[in-house]
């Protein structure tokens, strides 16, 4: 077993996994907030459309969504699919999927806030935007951090689904090496890598929770 080759290839796969993880959070976290507002909108069309979107994204497998996002441009619009679109499709599918989960987490946090806080802010002369940004949002962040942490940890493991579109992330690299060398050592090492990755994420999220304890 060539351990230099093992760690080099798994390291390259790890970088791809980190890219998928980081870009997914970068796009899905703010998009989730937009969807949360849409889900709570007074306009029935906006509210119901958002509700259907969230239901579809949470009710169908992420693997299926990856396939649809990748092949839809060709089968629906007749567009030519390039190899470079594979990674873009992975990020797009992951972001759209996780935004739906984050939207429901945000909505639960926002709707759990006592109505009296809005009324008190109005008496003090705060506008709706000021009330949300200065009073409600910091408390919502504190409340939703635990479920957001669960989703981010799940995302670390879900990055392995990128293999569906032939994007070689860490788990795919480990499977290829395991098949080539006829040993499970690459898979075991990949498991350690995933655990360390999740440990780093969990530690960082715990740090954020400590920072927001002021709003308990």
In tens, the pLDDT along 170-207 reads 888 888 888 888 888 888 989 999 999 999 999 998 88
- The stretch 89-105 carries a mean pLDDT of 96
Over its C-alpha atoms, the chain yields an Rg (Å, rounded) of 21
Cβ atoms of 106 and 144 closer than 8 Å: yes
Domains along the sequence of the chain with CATH: 3-215 (1.10.3720.10)
- % of the chain beyond a pLDDT of 70: 97
Highest mean pLDDT among 42-56, 104-118, 126-140: 42-56
What is the reported pTM? 0.89
Which are the contacts of 156, defined by CB distance < 8 A and separation ≥ 6?
17, 21, 194, 197, 198, 201
**Mean pLDDT of the residues in the chain:** 88
pLDDT at site 130: 81
Task: Compute the Cα dihedral for 67, 69, 71, 75 and give only its sign.
Answer: positive
Q: What CA–CA distance (Å, rounded) separates 213 from 208?
A: 9
């Amino acid at each position: 077993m060539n351990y230099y080759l093992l760690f080099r290839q798994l390291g390259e796969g790890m970088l791809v996994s980190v890219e998928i993880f980081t870009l997914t959070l970068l796009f899905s976290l703010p998009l989730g907030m937009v969807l949360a507002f849409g889900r709570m909108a007074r306009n029935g069309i906006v509210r119901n459309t958002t509700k259907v979107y969230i239901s579809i994204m949470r009710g169908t497998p992420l693997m299926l969504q990856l396939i649809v996002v990748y092949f839809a441009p060709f089968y629906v619009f007749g567009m030519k699919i390039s190899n470079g679109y594979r990674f873009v499709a992975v990020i797009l599918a992951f972001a759209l999927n996780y935004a739906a989960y984050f939207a429901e987490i945000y909505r639960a946090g926002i709707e759990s806030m006592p109505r009296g806080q809005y009324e008190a802010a109005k008496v003090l002369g705060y506008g709706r935007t000021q009330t949300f940004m200065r009073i409600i949002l910091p408390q919502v962040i504190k409340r939703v951090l635990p479920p957001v942490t669960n989703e981010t940890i799940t995302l670390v493991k879900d990055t392995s689904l990128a293999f569906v579109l032939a994007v070689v992330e860490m788990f795919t690299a480990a499977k290829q090496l395991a098949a080539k060398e006829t040993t499970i050592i690459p898979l075991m090492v990949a498991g350690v890598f995933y655990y360390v990755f999740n440990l780093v994420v969990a530690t960082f999220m715990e740090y954020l929770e400590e920072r927001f304890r002021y709003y308990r």
